[in-house]
Amino acid sequence: MANTLLMPKATAVWLVDSTALSFDQIAQFCGLHPLEVKAIADGESAQGIKGMDPVITGQLSRDEIARAEKDPNHRLKLSEPKVRVPESKRKGPRYTPLSKRQDRPNAIFWLVKNHPELKDAQVSRLVGTTKATIEQIRNRTHWNIANLAPMDPVALGLCSQIDLDIEVQRASRGREQAPAAGDTLLPASLTERLVPNTEKQDDEDQELDADKVFAKLSALKSTRADDEDEE
């Protein structure tokens, strides 16, 4: 957990709203794809996630953000943690009190929607449910799917933020980071080939036009000659 970013999507939401960082910089720092960051900026993703200030949590400094805003090629670095949090070694599904079990489907819905990279076993550990229920919610075949609303399991008290971050980090280890999808300019040698030779085309058009003019003149002369012969 020493070099783990807490709540990467919530951090990405805050960075999009509060800084002038590029999508590639935010994606690299939060472990997301640049298109995911763009979807957050367009309001198409993470609509139910509240932005989290990484400066307040001590994971990023103001100076580091300012440095990255001035240099688009600069890559943000996590600040050294001041407190070491031991990794949880609990095994098996979490026990959920009876009073909160009715909230589990909503929490599962939130997890599969906002963190599709999580495996069924990880979701089961977080909220203490069965794989069958998770599959039904993933496939939208759950008997009460029409009435479910995605709700953060941390806010519901079904798991801690640390446990959620640990599982998300574990799920992200197996995913390859996609290269930055930035637009680049083609070299001049290629663009010259793509530009049509307008001067040559104009010359050809002029030649064609001249041929047409001479043809018309010849036709007029022949017509006049025929008229004189008839007279």
pLDDT at 216 over 90: no
Is 226 or 124 the better-scoring residue by pLDDT?
124
Beta-carbon contacts of residue 14 (< 8 Å; ≥ 6 apart): 51, 52, 53, 54
Other C-beta atoms lying within 10 Å of the C-beta of residue 129: 22
182: nearest Cα among 73, 76, 78: 73
23: nearest Cα among 181, 174, 170, 150: 181
Q: What are the counts of helices (DSSP H) followed by strands (DSSP E) for the chain? A: 11, 0
Q: Which amino acid makes up residue 73?
A: N
Q: Residue range 153-159: average pLDDT?
A: 85
Output the pLDDT for position 181: 47
Q: Residue range 68-75: average pLDDT?
A: 91
pLDDT at 4 over 70: yes
Distance from C-alpha of 231 to C-alpha of 145, rounded to nearest angstrom: 99
